[in-house]
A = this chain, B = another copy of it.
Amino acid sequence: MSGATVDRVELNDLLEDGLAAVERAMLAVTDSDVDILRDASRHILDAGGKRIRPRLLLLTYLALGGRDVDYVSKPAAAIELMHTASVVHDDINDHGILRRGRPSVNALWGRTFALLTGDFLFTAVYELMAPYHDLNIDLAKAATALVEGETLQASAVKNNAFTREAYMQIIALKTAALFRAASTIGAKLARASQTETNELADFGFNLGLAFQIVDDILDLVQNEAQLGKSSGIDIPQGRGVAVALDGSNGSGGTNVIDPVATIRQKLMEGDTIGKAREQAHLLIDSAMTNLTILDDSAAKSALATLARQVVERDK
């Protein structure tokens, strides 16, 4: 598909329409007759969030000539719900009490209902995607990768094996795979060529890696009020980019010896965070190269802006 190019104003209108449709789709599919599931889903969905995955899908679709943002909003909603489901389950395992500036589902409804709400959001993904035949395998594989990444992370922490290699594998699976699914699905919905689809898939993947690295840096340097979620939890849990990149042979075991504050101070004084930021910037450079396959357009510029925001954001 190759529609007429839209200007910046038209693009913003299409993007805003698409994002509004994403919100409606997420609320509609989680409108259960079971109060707790509906209320807990709304609680976390109404809190907002960056919606970077739906944005990525919509902008990829628009950059490749797609125009039916309403049709595309359901897969975009499915991807955001998948992320939301994993966040709800994460907060059980990490005892996170703050999420998107609100108490976590776990904190408000307790573990049993948080577990079931996460499951429910995941079944909602499945329902939303059912009509999008050929795209199910892309999202299913990303879902499996996400769970594998979370499991490797928990396992690396438990075994004091949070090395740099483990870290890169973990963030590829738990974060970048879903970003790649978002851009891949956006490209396929726009009937992009195989080459275009591959480049945009890589764009999403690189963006996802950079996003997670920056997320982990922010966990270290920002406080909860700024982030709107429980922060500073990576070091005590022996994980995250700083633990992986610091000089202490990549083991998370340091937290057993030193108090968290001391480690944090040490990391802030060293060049660990600087190295991590540099890595994120290199990944965004790669992502920008992936974009060169696209003709110039307002949507292409918006994808580039999105990529820059990923490394420049402070929450």
Contact = CB atoms under 8 A, between A and B. Distances in A.
Interface of A: 32-37, 86, 89, 92-93, 111-113, 115-116, 118-120, 122-124, 126-127, 129-131, 133, 136-137, 139-141, 143-144, 146-148, 150-152, 154-155
A33 B147 CA distance: 12
Q: Among A33, A123, A127, which residue has the most Cβ atoms of chain B within 10 A? A: A123
A148 B34 contact: yes
A40 B254 CA distance: 29
A86 B126 CA distance: 15
B136 A126 contact: yes
B136 A120 contact: no
Q: Which 9 residue pairs spanning A and B have beta carbons closest together?
A: A130-B136, A126-B140, A130-B137, A123-B143, A127-B140, A123-B144, A133-B133, A120-B147, A93-B112
A93 B92 CA distance: 12
A148 B120 contact: yes
Contact of A136 (B112, B136, B141): B136
Contacts of A115: 89, 92-93, 115
A143 B126 contact: yes
A22 B118 CA distance: 27
Q: Describe A's contact surface by its main secondary structure.
A: helix
24 contacts: A34-B155, A37-B148, A37-B151, A89-B115, A92-B115, A93-B116, A112-B154, A113-B151, A113-B154, A113-B155, A116-B147, A116-B150, A116-B154, A119-B150, A120-B147, A123-B143, A123-B146, A123-B147, A126-B139, A126-B143, A129-B140, A130-B137, A131-B137, A136-B136
Contacts of A86: 119
A32 B136 contact: no
A140 B147 contact: no
Nearest to A117: B151
A89 B89 CA distance: 12
Contact of A120 (B119, B129, B144, B155): B144
B34 A151 contact: yes
A118 B119 CA distance: 9
Nearest to A37: B151
A137 B92 CA distance: 29
B92 A151 contact: no
A140 B130 contact: yes
Residue among A115, A139, A150 with the highest chain B CB neighbour number at 10 A = A115
A293 to B, nearest CB: 27
Which of A93, A130, A147 gathers most chain B CB within 10 Å? A147
A137 B36 CA distance: 23
Contact of A34 (B124, B126, B141, B152): B152
A154 B93 CA distance: 20
Contacts of A116: 89, 93, 147, 150-151, 154
